Structure 1
């Protein structure tokens, strides 16, 4: 059975602090997914600010940073919240936490990415960690964008998103 969901597909990226990986994901999908996707990000314990290296990298890549902020995932639960089609955890902590029940029962998957914000060292080393995370997120997001989501059943979407999550 094919789902009745049509573009724009709403996608929520989750990470504990919502300051780096989920922010990069939100910005990347917003930029590359164009009108076909609406992207959001949130965290279970938001840091209250976006990691400055994430902002620097997005700016270097020409990806708009306006509207990006660290926020709680609680704004995406409840009847008045936007109904998501997809929810992806991009860190192990968020995956292992008890997530809210998302309205509409979206497709969920874990797209684990090493935390670039945890890297210590020189500015060059920290930026390299963010570039590595960015490259892997971009690969996964481009795979999502390439899927014929409009013509896939919910079970096909789940399987495809899980497969994307398994990509190293």
Structure 2
């Protein structure tokens, strides 16, 4: 099964999701990530966070949804709503869900505040991925429910 984590820039949230999913999932499931307007590079704080968590970042890069190596079975958008962020709409015949998380890379504040925002984003995404992997059956209703986990953090 192929899961696509999709956002606009593919430099932070979607890559955190891709790497975390691949770290936790069974080998027959694979996550990829992409963006509608890829930034062209991974956010250094996202890479550092993954490395601190013991999650490999080898082979991950910012890529366009036009260059997907596989056709996804499930597409999960992770864009937030702050600053009028527009989430791309994947139009293929797939199961879709929205797990919106605000982009910590746009936060202005102290080093501690920015690091805390990245940690919170990771915790929310990881909790959602763990809930996904624990599902006895994957349904649209369950995927939508998971997208609300951690929303109040």
TM-score, length of structure 1 as denominator length: 0.81
Aligned partners of 2:26 and 2:114: how far apart in 1?
Answer: 29
User: Which 5+ residue runs of structure 2 have no aligned equivalent?
Assistant: none
Asked whether the 8 Å contact 2:75–2:94 carries over to 1, the reply is yes
Q: List gaps (5 residues or longer) in structure 1.
A: 1-8
1:101 and 2:91 correspond: yes
**Structure 2 CA distance for partners of 1:115 and 1:24, relative to 1, 3 Å:** same
Aligned to 1:113: 101
Match of 1:48 among 10, 21, 40: 40
Distance 1:164 1:36 in 2: 21
Give the structure with higher Rg (CA): 1
**1: CA distance, partners of 2:111 / 2:128:** 26
Q: How much has 1:121 moved relative to structure 2?
A: 2.2
Please tell me whether residue 18 in structure 1 is matched to residue 10 in structure 2: yes
The secondary structure found in structure 2 opposite 1:101 is coil
C-alpha contact (below 8 Å) 1:58/1:64 kept by paired residues:
yes
Distance 1:35 1:61 in 2: 20
- RMSD of equivalent CA atoms: 1.5
Corresponding residue number in structure 1 for 2:31 = 39
